[in-house]
């Protein structure tokens, strides 16, 4: 087993044990908070547990794979970028830090008035970290206590909080102004969120694949497992391909962001916008297809409240719409590719970066020649047929037939 796969397995085991021990999502979050998992990816000098973006992605993938909605990805991947950019240290009272962009914010004498809509997990937050305009060429990064703001609760399809924030003359814990345009910082916050959702979608899709392939070998119809039916095998093959593509695309984006040349803070997202656009567009596409195929193969049982499939499918449907839809990131990608129409192939194959740890045992990758370390990390190769768990289940089901 590689060192990266060992780390991924250790994190997944830790999150899995906590999930089994907790009665509900708040209980699980309290356990993860106590053990320091919620701030992995935020440096110790900034009040976090240490680690880098790749470590944060491992934790986010493990939680998504457990089928539990928690704000860890939004804190450790998105909020961490703003905190690092502003060199803001979290206070000891911070339990859950939620990021948001507030284009209409005003700041005067250390007091903030701002409004933001459908902010993920705001009703869980102890602190909010906001990106606010501070002139034509500057952006203010503000940390404030969530208790000082009025929060109107909402939810997405997966019943995860998506809340409106109204802060009226709230005293800030910290205000740091950086020499960057607000639109650039806000765009990179969206890119960080898109990366977080890509990692989560890929991990959830992997669980849907394993759950569905297992069900098809156990469900007997007409005297044999339905996995022995050619039509079912074809659908499983499509599901495996979509999952492989999602995992590879998310790993490619993560590797681009974490390479040494990417820098730190929100700047790390700038050079990886192309890979992030690919990841969010591709994982969003896979999310819909994976959920559809899984429910087709499970039948009516998959939509019941008691069955775990609906938790994953509702999350997939929700996450694909957040931090930019498939259509939005496809347009971003097309715009960037159009700028290199004279030598598109040369531009694509010239992009290269150091490989990083694969989140959730996903394949890490290089954009140069699109070579993925799938076999080394135990992940499926795009276009390489069935993932090993699917192949194993199908072979077992066919043998029983």
Of the candidates 76, 85, 67, the residue with the CA atom closest to the CA atom of residue 20: 67
**Residue 278's pLDDT is what?**
95
Could you tell me the fold of the domain covering 183-400? Answer: Butyryl-CoA Dehydrogenase, subunit A; domain 3 (1.20.140)
**Residue 369's pLDDT is what?**
24
Q: For the chain, what are the domain ranges?
A: 91-180, 183-400
Q: What is the 3-state secondary structure (H, E, C) of 250-294?
A: HHHHHHHHHCHHHCCHHHHHHHHHHHHHHHHHHHHHHHHHHHHHH
- Residue 356's φ and ψ, nearest 5 degrees, are -120, 175
**Residue 383's pLDDT is what?**
30
**Distance, C-alpha 112 to centroid of its chain:** 29
- Spell out the residues 6+ positions from residue 358 whose beta carbon is closer than 8 angstroms to its own: 4, 8, 251, 254, 364, 373, 377, 379
**Residue 115's pLDDT is what?**
96
CATH superfamily placement of domain 91-180? Butyryl-CoA Dehydrogenase, subunit A, domain 2 (2.40.110.10)
**Residue 245's pLDDT is what?**
97
Gap between the Cα atoms of 124 and 121, Å rounded:
5
pLDDT in tens, the chain (401 residues): 445 555 566 777 777 777 777 768 898 899 899 989 999 989 888 899 998 999 999 999 999 999 989 999 999 999 999 999 999 999 999 999 999 999 999 999 999 999 999 999 999 999 999 999 998 899 999 999 999 999 999 999 999 999 999 999 999 999 999 999 999 999 999 999 999 999 999 999 999 999 999 999 999 988 999 999 999 999 999 999 999 999 999 999 999 998 766 655 556 677 789 999 999 999 999 999 999 999 999 999 999 988 999 999 999 999 999 999 999 999 999 998 887 777 888 877 776 544 444 465 543 333 322 322 232 233 332 333 333 443 443 344 433 33
Gap between the Cα atoms of 75 and 322, Å rounded:
15
Gap between the Cα atoms of 154 and 162, Å rounded:
5
Q: Six-digit token pair at 192?
A: 């960080």
**Residue 230's pLDDT is what?**
94
């Amino acid at each position: 087993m590689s060192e990266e796969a060992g780390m991924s397995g250790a994190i997944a085991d830790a999150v899995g044990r906590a999930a089994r021990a907790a009665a509900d999502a708040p209980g699980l979050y309290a356990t993860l908070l106590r053990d320091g998992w919620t701030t992995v990816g935020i440096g110790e000098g900034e009040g976090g547990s240490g680690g880098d973006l790749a470590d944060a992605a491992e934790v986010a993938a493990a939680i998504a794979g457990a089928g539990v909605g928690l704000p860890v990805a939004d804190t450790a991947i998105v909020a961490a970028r703003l905190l690092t950019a502003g060199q803001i240290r979290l206070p000891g009272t911070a339990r859950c830090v939620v990021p948001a962009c507030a284009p209409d914010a005003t700041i005067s004498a250390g007091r903030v008035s701002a409004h933001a809509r459908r902010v993920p997990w705001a009703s869980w937050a102890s602190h909010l970290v906001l990106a606010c305009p501070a002139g034509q060429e500057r952006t203010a990064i503000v940390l404030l206590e969530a208790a000082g703001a009025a929060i109107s609760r909402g939810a997405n399809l997966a019943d995860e909080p998506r809340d409106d924030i109204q802060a009226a003359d709230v005293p800030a814990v910290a205000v740091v102004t950086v020499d960057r345009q607000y639109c650039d910082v806000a765009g990179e916050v969206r890119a960080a969120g898109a990366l977080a959702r890509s990692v989560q979608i890929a991990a959830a899709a992997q669980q849907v694949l394993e759950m569905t392939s297992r069900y098809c070998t156990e469900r007997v119809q007409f005297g044999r497992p339905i996995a022995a039916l050619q039509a079912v095998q074809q659908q499983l093959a499509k599901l495996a391909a979509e999952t492989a593509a999602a995992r590879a695309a998310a790993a490619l984006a993560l590797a681009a962001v974490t390479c040494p040349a990417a820098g730190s803070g929100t700047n790390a997202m700038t050079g990886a916008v192309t890979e992030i656009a690919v990841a969010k567009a591709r994982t969003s596409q896979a999310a819909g297809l994976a959920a559809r195929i899984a429910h087709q193969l499970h039948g009516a049982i998959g939509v019941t409240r008691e069955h775990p499939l609906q938790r994953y499918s509702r999350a997939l449907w929700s996450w694909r719409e957040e931090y930019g839809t498939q259509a939005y990131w496809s347009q971003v990608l097309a715009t960037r590719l159009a700028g290199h129409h004279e030598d598109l192939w040369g531009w694509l194959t010239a992009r290269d970066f150091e490989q990083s740890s694969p989140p959730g045992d996903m394949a890490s990758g290089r954009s140069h020649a699109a070579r993925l370390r799938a076999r080394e990390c135990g992940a499926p190769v795009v276009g390489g047929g069935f993932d090993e768990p699917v192949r194993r289940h199908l072979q077992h089901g066919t043998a029983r037939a």
